[in-house]
């Protein structure tokens, strides 16, 4: 069982993944505020955006924003966590539907493509010191954000895959993790700049899949039972991180009155 992440989350009732979620996702005003805040942060940066601008763009009063979030910083933290929730939900849904997704050759392209679709993560990667400052203020949040980076999530999952024979065991695991991190970082940059691909590279995902398979996968493919067991343990890790993200979203809200 993986260790708890960040501050302990309150006990949650056992419900299907698709039924869990922060309350703002079911409130149209809060959803408009979040969407408007995202667009403004992406366009102008976290430091230049004000609550007044967010409320005008969302078509609500300034006080309505504070009904949901105590401050602009809490709103931005909740917004970033909402993007993380999207990443985790997609991973959980994909692996639940197809356990073979946990094979390294399939998991690596999925993680990169899903991560690149998160706009605030791209903004932070391209350089937004104020956004980074807001997200790193709280030590517990800082740990959670660190653990949801693609490389960190690979670190959490790789021992599971190796234990079930999905990763070769003739190299030290830290060395395998190191080379995978370097590969993911390089491909993330390359995939985000498709114009830099040389002629003849029409499917970067296939190139990454082949490379990961050559580097990490054993010559003899594991059986279906091993893949299913690895998928179940990987889902447990993703669900635990998801609960920590939901806890962060809950803590970023103004308490209900």
181 confidence band (pLDDT: 50, 70, 90)? confident
Q: Is residue 189 part of a domain?
A: yes
Instruction: Report the pLDDT value the prediction gives residue 126, as an integer from 0 to 100.
Output: 64
Q: Is residue 38 part of a domain?
A: no
Q: Is residue 43 part of a domain?
A: no
Give the count of beta carbons closer than 10 Å to the beta carbon of residue 253. Answer: 18
168 pLDDT higher than 70: yes
Instruction: Report the pLDDT value the prediction gives residue 14, as an integer from 0 to 100.
Output: 41
Q: Is residue 182 part of a domain?
A: yes
Q: Is residue 31 part of a domain?
A: no
Q: Is residue 57 part of a domain?
A: no
Q: Is residue 36 part of a domain?
A: no
74 pLDDT higher than 90: no
148 confidence band (pLDDT: 50, 70, 90)? confident
**pLDDT tens digits along 185-237:** 888 777 777 777 788 888 888 988 999 999 999 999 999 999 999 999 999 99
**pLDDT tens digits along 106-131:** 998 888 887 777 767 666 666 667 77
Give the count of beta carbons closer than 10 Å to the beta carbon of residue 194. Answer: 9
52 pLDDT higher than 90: yes
Q: Is residue 77 part of a domain?
A: no
Instruction: Report the pLDDT value the prediction gives residue 4, as an integer from 0 to 100.
Output: 35
Instruction: Report the pLDDT value the prediction gives residue 19, as an integer from 0 to 100.
Output: 43
- Residue 69: CB partners within 8 Å, gap ≥ 6? 75, 78, 252, 253, 254
Give the count of beta carbons closer than 10 Å to the beta carbon of residue 123. Answer: 19
Please give the full DSSP string across the chain, using - where no structure is assigned: -PPP-SSPPPP-----GGG---GGGG-HHHHHHHHHHHHHHHHH-TTT--HHHHHHHHTS-HHHHHHH-SSHHHHHHHHHHHHHHHHHHHHHHHHHH-GGGGSHHHHHHHHHHHHHT-HHHHHHHHH-HHHHHHHTSSHHHHHHHHHTSHHHHHHHHHHHHHHTTSS-SSS-HHHHHHHHHHHHHHHHHHHT-GGGSPTT---HHHHHHHHHHHHHS-SSPPPHHHHHHHHHHHHHHHHHHHHHHHHHHHHHSPPP-
How many separate domains does the chain show? 1
150 confidence band (pLDDT: 50, 70, 90)? low
Q: What percent of the chain has pLDDT over 70?
A: 82
Query: Residue 183 sits in which domain range?
Result: 82-252
Query: Residue 6: which region, alpha, beta or left (left: phi > 0; alpha: psi -120 to 50)?
Result: left
Least confident range from 8-12, 58-62, 199-203: namely 8-12
Instruction: Report the pLDDT value the prediction gives residue 202, as an integer from 0 to 100.
Output: 80
Q: Report which of residues 52 and 189 the model is more confident about.
A: 52
Are the C-beta atoms of 66 and 75 separated by less than 8 Å? no
15 pLDDT higher than 60: no
């Amino acid at each position: 069982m993986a260790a708890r992440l960040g501050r302990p989350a309150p006990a949650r009732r056992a419900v299907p993944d698709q039924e869990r979620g922060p309350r703002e996702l079911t409130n149209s005003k809060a959803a408009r505020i979040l969407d408007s805040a995202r667009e403004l942060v992406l366009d102008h940066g976290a430091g230049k955006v004000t609550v007044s601008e967010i409320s005008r763009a969302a078509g609500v009063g300034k006080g309505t924003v504070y009904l949901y979030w105590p401050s602009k910083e809490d709103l931005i933290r909740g917004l970033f966590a909402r993007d993380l929730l999207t990443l985790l939900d997609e991973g959980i849904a994909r692996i639940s539907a197809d356990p073979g997704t946990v094979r390294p050759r399939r998991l690596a392209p999925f993680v990169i493509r899903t991560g690149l679709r998160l706009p605030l993560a791209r903004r932070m990667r391209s350089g937004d010191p104020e956004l980074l400052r807001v997200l790193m203020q709280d030590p517990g949040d800082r740990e959670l954000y660190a653990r949801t980076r693609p490389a960190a999530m690979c670190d959490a999952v790789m021992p599971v895959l190796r234990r079930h024979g999905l990763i070769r065991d003739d190299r030290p695991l830290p060395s395998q993790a190191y080379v995978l991190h370097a590969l993911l970082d390089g491909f993330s940059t390359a995939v985000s700049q498709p114009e830099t691909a040389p002629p003849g590279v029409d499917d970067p995902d296939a190139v990454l899949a082949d490379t990961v398979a050559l580097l990490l996968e054993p010559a003899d493919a594991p059986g279906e039972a091993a893949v299913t067991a690895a998928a179940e343990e990987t889902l447990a890790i993703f669900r635990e991180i998801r609960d920590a993200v939901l806890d962060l979203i809950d803590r970023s809200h103004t308490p209900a009155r």
